[in-house]
Amino acid sequence: MSTSGQPVGHASGSAAAACVTAQAAPPTRPPAPDVTVRAVADAPDGEPVPEPALDGRAAVERWLAAHGADLIQWRRHIHANPELSRTEFATTEFVATWLTKAGLTPRRMPGGTGLLCDIGPEDGPRIALRADMDALPLQEFTGLPFSSTVPGVSHACGHDAHTTILLGTALALAEVPELPVGVRLIFQPAEEVMPGGALDMVAAGALDGIERIFAVHCDPRLEVGRVGMRVGAITSAADTVELVLDSPGGHTSRPHLTSDLVYAIGTVITGLPGLLSRRIDPRTSTVMVWGAVSAGKAPNAIPQTGMLTGTVRTGDHATWSLLEPMVHEIVDGLLAPTGVRYQLNYRRGVPPVVNDEHSARQFEDAIRALGQDALSDTPQSGGGEDFSWYLEEVPGAMARLGVWSGHGEQLDLHQPTFDIDERALAVGVRVFTNLVLQQRPR
């Protein structure tokens, strides 16, 4: 990503737009309008909804009125210049430059990718807001005028939007005269590679002094203007199983004189998922799925080597801790009678993201402030998300941000044609700033 044409002077609306336009070719698609939002006085149960300080909300709305188009330009610049996990150097520099021009002091992480930035009171409670920045090794086929300029790399999971939303949140909060709590912004690299860059951020002190942490993730199943929330697990644990098998090989007319490797593979293909389903409570939503199988080429030769790879997912944190030893036990029991030698590589990925109740309720209040119909129930996902590593240390919650336009095809995450309705950017900024402004000073 090119970082030429960086802004000079204060990041005013016109200067911001000029800077980003200089860095990315002007898009031909017109900027999307803001989603209309309204504040509500009461929750469905009649209890008052905690409202952010009125002067703070007014400052945020003034910032959005002046910089809503900048949000779109920033997102398009990041989208056009995607960077893979642990190589987000230019994205980090782009974010750091805008934070610095707003009078903030970003701190880059060791290695040069990712950064932290604190806003608000230095004493007292502090909450954290997190965004991931990395792209996927996936060719883009959207046909957008701001499509990826990097062959084989694209922002097909919405991390360009996440980064833009958190950057916008930072600059909007910088305009608020007095914040009720301190805020730490976490711009995280390497979410797409397991076990994820969140562990690096935690090790670097990202959660030092943090009481709670919050994040949003794009959800193409929700219409723009709606935000999904649930108490408890919202994603699943995701581990990888790789099984390499070895036998002497031989002629298919004499399987009794060797170890039939293909038969052994078939036994594991059906046996491991089946036995896991009998050993684990089905209410935990645990599933084992094979993704790749390879062995042999000739129809009359028993091969010497073969390989299986797949994933094991569960929606239950306690079950996650049991999976690795259980998989080893089952595989050994299945293969021992076959005489085939094997090597099992079990790679633990991430635990489930488990929203604690108090943090989820805070998110719900922030979402309701957008409008009575903004809050949506959301099911638990089978996907993994390394935001869970933060929640192993402090309580927090993740919400699902609607990015579907409400018409046309609903494209899924990680599809080469995935795109968002850019009105969701301002919605995300409002949710994050509401979360901060509704906090009570202590």
Q: Which residues are annotated as a binding site for Mn(2+)?
A: 157, 159, 192, 217, 414
Q: How far apart are CA 153 and CA 167, in angstroms?
A: 22
30 C-beta neighbours (distance < 10 Å), count: 8
CA pair distance 76, 24, nearest whole angstrom: 8
Token pair, residue 378, equals 């959301």
* Cβ–Cβ < 8 Å for 163, 215: no
- Compute φ and ψ for 295, nearest 5 degrees: -175, 125
Task: Name the nearest CA neighbour of 401 among 157, 213, 182, 176.
Answer: 157
**SS (HEC) of 218-261:** EEEEEECCCEEECCEECCCEEEEEEEEEECCCEECCCHHHCCCH
Give the angle subtended at the CA of 247 by the CAs of 242 and 249, to the nearest 5°: 130
Q: What is residue 138's three-state secondary structure?
A: coil
Q: Are strands 182-188 and 126-132 parallel, antiparallel or unpaired?
A: parallel
Angle between helix axes 159-173 and 54-80 (nearest 10 degrees) is 140
Q: d(Cα 329, Cα 183) in Å, to the nearest integer?
A: 46
Q: With 0-12 CB in 10 A as exposed, 13-18 as middle and 19+ as buried, what is 208?
A: exposed
Instruction: State which amino acid sits at residue 355.
Output: N
Binding-site residues = 157, 159, 192, 217, 414
Q: Of the candidates 432, 419, 371, 358, which has an alpha carbon nearest to the alpha carbon of residue 172? A: 432
Angle between helices 54-80 and 89-101 (to 10 degrees): 150
Q: What b/e readout covers 327-352, taking b as 16+ CB neighbours within 10 angstroms?
A: beebbeebbeebebebebebebbbbb
